[in-house]
Amino acid sequence: MVRIFKTNLTSHDTRTPIGPQNDKKVYEVVPATKNQRRFLQVLADETSIDIWNDAHKPASLKVTVPGHIQKDFERVLTEQNLYFKLIIQDIQSLVKEHNKSISSLVEGQISFQKYHRYSEIQEYLKYLSINYPKIVEFDHYGLSYEKRNLSYIRISTGGSHHKPIIFIDAGIHAREWIAPAQALYILHQLVENVENRYLINNVDWIIIPLANPDGYEYSHVKDRFWRKTRSCGDNYHGVDPNRNFDIVWNTAGSSDFERSEIYAGKQPFSESETLALSNILLNNSNHIKLYLSFHSAAQSILYPFGFTNQEPSNIEQLHNLAVQVQQTIVRINGTNYDVSNIGTRLKPMSGTSCDWAYLVAGIDLVYMIELPKGGQRAFDFPANQILEVTKDMFEGIRVFHNYIEKEYA
């Protein structure tokens, strides 16, 4: 049955013209057995449906389904005795609702009561470099597929060029808007809050607030839950950038079906965004002591590996530091983050930035930080809760910093 449905969907997907799919709907699906969960995961791997939650977990799942296969999707779920209900009739309406709430931004200001567009983020980065030139360097490390600047901020008080570096990126998955907001909050606190100046005295920071600007912009104007880049070929739009790194590429939790949400690309580093990110990591790898990649929405602090159950050689160090961060956040704010390796907490996956940073760039302390989900829609995190989440995690950032300063400065 899986094979029949998969074949029908694949051929239907192939016949359907590429373009904005504003008729996407979201279903809640409740698998009751392992076979039903496996069935859904195969569909996600080999078709254009998208499962937001991990299909290996017994909880109810949120599934995005393009309009041209909705009837087939409902029919097959009924045949498989899978409970489902429609919970979002029109994803595009969420984009329209969000755009109505956006007000113009005064130059240089940043708000944590709204989600900022790419141009606003760029303006804020420029503002920081102009107003804090002694500690802030604003530069670009490449261009996206649609020729947007891939930008970063380096924070340094100068002096030695051998200070340890904490490297942060966010927004590699376009729809996870809370992740760039977290990176911006960290920037704001490090640069504009003088009480945090001790955090930059002995440690340098490189922060990329938006690693996938094309996908991020597309999620604001066309498809709120777009995940991938915006590169295109004869039969596809976009690649999952966190399956595109050259580390055990396309062997687990990824797909070679071009319209899959976890499409790994035609080859490793096929995406300008992932290649550029790998280059800036390699260029600074001698001094990067901690790499944090922000995502949502599993509320977890995760370390390598994603592609195997084998433990990293410094597993005790990785785990203990993550627990310190977890316990600090719980003690101060009561928010509990799970601590685990990537593949166990989420699902097996290959080609991730974290596994690549650990094994290829040689960075010993690597974490995927999964911020909380936002209610029923998971990635549609309410803007009025941004500050609460970002403040929580910044307390964890202090712990990370203190460890790096003590061990490496």
Which residues are tagged catalytic? Answer: 370
Residue 248 and residue 342 in contact, taking contact as beta carbons nearer than 8 Å:
no
Look up residue 232 and give its DSSP letter.
B
Q: How many separate helices (H) and strands (E) can be counted in the chain?
A: 13, 12
State which H helix or E strand residue 338 sits in.
Answer: strand 338-341
Q: Which residues contact 147 (CB under 8 A, 6 or more apart)?
A: none
Give Cα 29 distance to the centre of its chain: 23
Query: How many CA atoms are closer than 13 Å to the CA of 338, on its beta-carbon side?
Result: 15
Q: Which residues contact 243 (CB under 8 A, 6 or more apart)?
A: 249, 250, 253, 254, 262, 263, 264, 265, 349, 350, 351, 352
Q: Torsions phi, psi of 299, nearest 5?
A: 50, 65
CA angle 300/353/314 to nearest 5° reads: 65
β-partners of residue 137 are 154
- For residues 110 and 173, what is the distance between their CA atoms, to the nearest angstrom? 22
**Pairing verdict, β 365-371 and 300-303:** antiparallel
